[in-house]
Amino acid sequence: MTIKVVIAGFKGKMGSTAVDMVKSDDQLELAGLLDPFATEKEIDGVPVFTVKEALVGFEADVWVDFTMPKVAYGNTRFALENGFAPVVGTTGFTEEQIAELKALSSEKQLGGLIAPNFAIGAILLMEFATKASKYFPDLEIIELHHDKKKDAPSGTAIKTAELIREARAFKKQGAEDEEELITGARGAEFNGFRIHSVRLPGLVAHQEVIFGAQGEGLTLRHDSYDRSSFMSGVNLGIKEVVKRKELVYGLENLLS
Ligand code: NAP
């Protein structure tokens, strides 16, 4: 039986890459497409929608979302309320929103995934950084993305910071009398450590976690050079959420 997939944000950089991935997999069927500025009524027989409400009652199993931070929460709620298991790559969710969506998925007995990063290397970077933070509590996160990215810091940086918060004994870094001569020079403060966001044309998605200790340093880095790096994770997410009855936050929760 094929899994019927709707892709929201199908005209975007990630959404269009996800369309190609779904089309290339015999176990998946591209059932519907959503983008507010689409002018087509259908593409190769696949219906195109411009508002999510038009999908009430639509027959599909999974809702893939690569849209924009300001609409992703509403889209994910809508998917759960209408029987589509969400696989969401859009970033910018608050912790409260994720908790609400988890509760809604349990109530609806529907699987789902919100993954700030679908690349396996990024998942491993988060795991290694979390482990290292127990031994190296002094650290800084530097995330680097293309200059069209709307949210900062990245969802991956926030997720990394949240995982580190769980593992690392709290420590406020930097000198007591440290002074920013230009506002923002030390980056965003999260649980005593700093997150820096770099935006440049030519970049895709990259992250470093730099650890410093007495007389030694450790740098962990992951690079997504191409958006295809995310697609095996999206594919896995689609195939896993249909088997599950609750939404998880982070692809690592679906890896065995
Ligand atoms: P993008 O190229 O700007 O694509 C976003 C698309 O969503 C655009 O085509 C946009 O249409 C459309 N859109 C806007 N509002 C919508 C709505 N209400 N319903 C449906 N579609 C809507 O951005 P991108 O680079 O593909 O990134 C999309 C998201 O994925 C971002 O949040 C990014 O951070 C995230 N991302 C996640 C991962 C991961 O591994 N989880 C990896 C890379 C990126 P218009 O342009 O016509 O407004």
Would you say 1 is a known binding-site residue? no
Q: Which DSSP state fits 235? A: H
Would you say 13 is a known binding-site residue? yes
CATH no., domain 3-114+228-254: 3.40.50.720
Residue nearest to atom 21 of ligand 1 (CA): 9
Residue partners of 118: CB distance under 8 A and separation at least 6: 89, 229, 230, 231, 232, 233, 234, 237, 251
Residue 12 sits at the vertex; the CA angle it makes with 7 and 13, to the nearest 5 degrees, is 110
Q: List the chain domain ranges.
A: 3-114+228-254, 120-225
Query: Would you name the residues annotated as active-site residues?
Result: 145, 149
CB 216 within 8 A of CB 207: no
pLDDT given at position 256: 76
Local structure of 160: helix, strand or coil: helix
Question: Pocket residues for ligand 1 (CB within 6 Å)?
Answer: 8-9, 11-15, 34-37, 66-69, 71, 89-91, 115-118, 149, 205, 230
Q: How far is the CA of 8 from the centre of ligand 1 (A)?
A: 8
Q: How far is the CA of 171 from the centre of ligand 1 (A)?
A: 36
Q: Best mutation site among 7, 13, 14 for ligand 1, i.e. most ligand atoms within 8 A of its Cβ?
A: 14
pLDDT given at position 1: 86
219/211 Cα distance (integer angstroms) = 6
Would you say 36 is a known binding-site residue? no
74/34 Cα distance (integer angstroms) = 14
Which atom of ligand 1 lies at the shortest distance from residue 88's CA? 41
Whether the full predicted model's pTM is greater than 0.75, yes or no, is: yes
Per-residue pLDDT of the chain (256 residues; tens, 9 = 90+): 899 999 999 999 999 999 999 999 999 999 999 999 999 999 999 999 999 999 999 999 999 999 999 999 999 999 999 999 999 999 999 999 999 999 999 999 999 999 999 999 999 999 999 999 999 999 999 999 999 999 999 999 999 999 999 999 999 998 999 999 999 999 999 999 999 999 999 999 999 999 999 999 999 999 999 999 999 999 999 999 999 999 999 999 998 7
Residue 157 sits at the vertex; the CA angle it makes with 153 and 225, to the nearest 5 degrees, is 95
pLDDT given at position 146: 97
Residue nearest to atom 43 of ligand 1 (CA): 14
6-35 burial: b if 16+ Cβ within 10 Å, else e: bbbbbbbebbbbbbebbeebeebbbbbbbb
Would you say 119 is a known binding-site residue? no
- Whether 3-114+228-254 shares its CATH topology with 120-225 is answered no
Residue nearest to atom 35 of ligand 1 (CA): 90
CA distances from 226 to 121, 203, 207, 223, 230 (A): 13, 9, 14, 9, 8
For 120-225, CATH number out of 3.30.70.20, 3.40.50.460, 3.30.360.10, 3.30.530.20 equals 3.30.360.10
Q: Best mutation site among 16, 35, 93 for ligand 1, i.e. most ligand atoms within 8 A of its Cβ?
A: 35
CB 84 within 8 A of CB 70: no
Would you say 155 is a known binding-site residue? yes
Q: How far is the CA of 214 from the centre of ligand 1 (A)?
A: 42
